[in-house]
Amino acid sequence: MLYVSTRGGGEKLLSSEAIIKGLSDDGGLYVPEHFPQITLDVINLLAAKPYSQRAAYILGVYLGDFTPEELESQTDAAYNSGGFAVPEVAPLRKVSDDTFFLELWHGPTSAFKDMALQILPRLLTSSLRKTNESKEVCILVATSGDTGKAALEGFRDVPGTRVMVFYPRDGVSDVQKLQMTSQQGSNVNVVAVEGNFDDAQNGVKEIFTDEFLKEWAREKGFFLSSANSINWGRLVPQIAYYVSAYCDLLNSKEIQLGDKIDFCVPTGNFGNILAAYYALRMGLPINRLILASNQNDVLSDFINTGVYDRNRQFYTTVSPSMDILISSNLERLLFELSGKNGEIVSGLMSELSKNGRYELSSDMRDALANIFSAGRCSEEETLECIAKAFKEQDYLIDTHTAVAYNVLQKYRDGNNQQQPCVVVSTASPYKFSESVLIALGQETIGNGADLIDSLFNFSKSPVPMPLSGIRNAVPRFEKSVAVADMQAAVREFLQS
C-alpha cells in the first residue's frame, strides 16, 4: 500500500514515510492509493475480538510496512494499558430503539482525540526507526482545544520527540486551557496565540512550508512534523472505531451482518467524519453519513450546496472544538470525489486560497450527495438538546455531541426511512461543564473545578478521572504570542 498526494505531485510513499512527513511538498495531503476492502466475514471475525485487536487489523491493512506483531503490541499499549477507563475503549450506549452513542471520550483527556493520539506517537517513533531517521522529531500542533491536550499526553516523555502546542487564547474553555497549561513532561511546550483557531492553524502551516526555518531546525538536529488531523497517522486509527461500533451492534443483536447503518458526526476539521467515509469505502455497511455543524456552518452548507465559501463571519460557540472555517481534511474527500484527480484538487485549493471559495462540478456534487447529508445546529438548539437528552433519556451529553444529536433529529424529521444510527459522542460533558450546566438551568458559580462539582451534584453522572483531578492542576505555561511571533516561539523552544 503506497500513499500519494491529493495534489497529484507524483511521489509515492510508504506509510511510515507519509506519517513522518505529515504534509506533502506540493502542499497536498497523503492519501492511500486505493481502499483495502473489508468483507462481512472479516467483520464477523473482528466482532469476537477486543478493541485493540480490531484496531490492529484496520491499521494493518493500511500500514503495509508495519508487521502485524508490531501493530498488535502498539494497539495493546495504546488502548489496554490504563489510559482508557473502560475495557471496551469505545463503548456504545443505547438511548432508544434505533439510536446509539459511540462514546469516544474515555481516554486520558476525555475527548475523542485520544483515540488517535494515544497511538500516533508509537506509529511515529517506529516510522522513524524504519526510515533510519536519527533526528529528534518536533511535533507542532494547532488546537481548537482538545487536540492540544491529547497530543501533549500522547507524546509526553516519549524519547526522541518534543511537542509544542499553540491554542487560540480566547477560543478554549477554562478546563481545556488548564488541562494544557498544567501539562507535565520534560519535552512539552504550550503557547497561547492572539487569534482564533484558523489563525493558529495557518501559523503552523506557514512554519511547515518555511524552508528557511526547517533548515535551521535540521541544523539543530530536529525535524518538524505535525500531529494535526492532516497526518495520516491520525486518521487511520479513527477508521477503527467505526468498524468497532458496527461489531458491537452485531454482538448485541441490534443488527444482522450486512445491515446498513447511519453515522452522525459533529464536525470541525472534517477528520472524524472522513474516517467514517473511509470505513464506508472499505465496504463497512453504511447507508448515510450525516454531518453536523454548529453555528459555523461552512461544512453543512458545502454538503447541501456544493459550494465551499469561507467568506463568512466566524462565531465563538459553546462547541468550540468545531469553531473552524477552514477544514483541512476536506481536501482528501475532494480527491476521492474527483476520481483521484490531483489537478482538480489543486485547482479547487488555489481558488480557495485566492477567493476563499470554490464550487464543485455537478459530477462531484452528485458523488457527495450520494453519501452525505448535513445539518446545522444553533446555539439555542445545542442547549435544548442537552436538556432534552438528560430529561427524556437520562443521558448527559456534551455540547459537541448535542450538535450531532440535534442534527440527527432534524434529519429524521425530514426522512421516512429509518436506519439505526450511531451518534459519535466526542467529549465528556464534564469537559464543557459550564455550558452543560446552563443548558440544564443550573447556576454556574466558580472556576472550572467548581463547575465540574456542580454538574456532578446535579446529574450524578460519573466524572472521568482526568477531570476530577483538575482542581489540583497548576499552570506551568503562561506565554502568549501574536501570530507573527509563532516562528520565534518555535526557535526558542528548540534552543532550550
Ligand X SMILES: *Cc1c(COP(=O)(O)O)cnc(C)c1O
Catalytic residue among 12, 49, 113, 431: 113
Cβ burial, residue 363 (10 Å; 0-12/13-18/19+): exposed
Dig out the grid coordinates for 407 from the structure: 442534527
Taking the chain, what is the end-to-end CA distance rounded to the nearest angstrom?
Answer: 39
Closer CB to ligand X, 57 or 112, in the complex: 112
Contact 137, 160 (CB under 8 A): yes
Measured between alpha carbons, how far is residue 360 from residues 9, 327, 393 in Å?
Answer: 21, 16, 40
Closer CB to ligand X, 269 or 435, in the complex: 269
Closer CB to ligand X, 390 or 432, in the complex: 432
Contact 120, 233 (CB under 8 A): yes
**Separation of alpha carbons 359 and 302, rounded Å:** 9
**Separation of alpha carbons 299 and 372, rounded Å:** 11
Query: Contact with ligand X (CB under 6 A): which of 32, 83, 91, 268?
Result: 268
Dig out the grid coordinates for 6 from the structure: 491529493
Find where cell 445545542 sits: 382
Q: Is residue 426 close enough to count as binding ligand X by CB under 6 A?
A: yes
Nearest distance from C-beta of residue 251 to ligand X, angstroms? 26
Query: Contact with ligand X (CB under 6 A): which of 271, 342, 375, 448?
Result: 271
Query: Contact with ligand X (CB under 6 A): which of 229, 295, 317, 454?
Result: 229
Nearest distance from C-beta of residue 229 to ligand X, angstroms? 5
Task: Point out which residues pair with 192 in neighbouring strands.
Answer: 167, 480
Which residue type, as a one-letter code, is found at position 60?
A: G
Q: Is residue 427 close enough to count as binding ligand X by CB under 6 A?
A: yes
Q: Would residue 21 show up in a list of annotated catalytic residues for this protein? A: no
Binding mask 276-305 for ligand X (x = CB under 6 A): ------------------------------
Nearest distance from C-beta of residue 13 to ligand X, angstroms? 23
Query: Contact with ligand X (CB under 6 A): which of 70, 103, 114, 146?
Result: 146
Nearest distance from C-beta of residue 91 to ligand X, angstroms? 17
Query: Hey, how many other C-beta atoms are within 10 angstroms of the C-beta on 460?
Result: 9
Dig out the grid coordinates for 392 from the structure: 427524556
Nearest distance from C-beta of residue 233 to ligand X, angstroms? 14
Q: Is residue 228 close enough to count as binding ligand X by CB under 6 A?
A: no
Binding mask 91-110 for ligand X (x = CB under 6 A): --------------------
Closer CB to ligand X, 183 or 187, in the complex: 183
Q: CA dihedral in degrees (123, 126, 127, 130; nearest 10)?
A: -160
Please list every residue from 312 through 331 that binds ligand X, using CB under 6 A. 321-322
Q: Is residue 400 close enough to count as binding ligand X by CB under 6 A?
A: yes
**Separation of alpha carbons 312 and 457, rounded Å:** 40
Q: Is residue 113 close enough to count as binding ligand X by CB under 6 A?
A: yes
Q: How far is CA 491 from the centre of its chain?
A: 27
**Separation of alpha carbons 29 and 207, rounded Å:** 16
Closer CB to ligand X, 14 or 397, in the complex: 397
Collapsed DSSP state (helix, strand, coil) of residue 193: strand
With CB under 6 A as the contact rule, which of the stretches 74-82, 111-119, 185-193, 438-446 interacts with ligand X?
111-119
Interface residue list for ligand X (CB under 6 A): 111-113, 146, 229, 266-272, 321-322, 400, 426-427
Catalytically active residues, by annotation? 113
